[in-house]
Structure 1
């Protein structure tokens, strides 16, 4: 199998089987993957912020949860996926710095990223089948179409598959 497609900050990348998607350095960001095992296609976004403030014409739709979800759906459907078979997995959304007042509210970017991503998936009718969000440690993720597992590497804790 190939080495893997890197998904950088604010990027969206699609792979067909056999393929691997890799996103490094998720702090408050979310690594979101949508996939259809039958069509053998997957796409990942590296989401940085919860909302685009309704500027849907952003040149990097992977940057925001509210633009990344519909973009990924569109990408996998164009590659042969069926919406009723789509599944989602995500990781990230950490609170990387201890700032007074940051456990909730505007400064809790990681929490807001996770919540907004889940809200957009639910609104689109996509089932979230695996999630590893929150805490205060950075993560990196790898998703392979060989086994449909999102491997989450958490700084200082090791790795797990979801």
Structure 2
């Protein structure tokens, strides 16, 4: 249990009676329903070069999809297909990785990002996204991205 703002939340682990992929598909069904009701489609996004940073970078890094060990740095841009996020989410939701011990919400976070991009923004799983944390040694946040878009 934990309290966030005015709400007390109780988080429980998934049922062990579910099949491996059933955990992912049950989770994404709930998230897709929320995203359909609450996210506006970004018109023309499928024709743009897409950059993801901040929360996206942190979750993707925690999932082991970015590695600083092989020369990557937070200022480098890594290109990933959206389908890579789905596969990582399925693997983590299966419990087939040690990452859940350190990042207990990683299954949810990856599934949410995948749903937001595909169900919410209507991007294909084959779409490439560019992942970065810093531009010219400055950490990028959504507010900077919005400001740059408005200029």
TM-score normalised by length of structure 2: 0.27
TM-score normalised by length of structure 1: 0.25
**Which one has a larger percent helix, Structure 1 or Structure 2?**
2
**Which has the greater radius of gyration?**
2
**Which one has a larger percent strand, Structure 1 or Structure 2?**
1
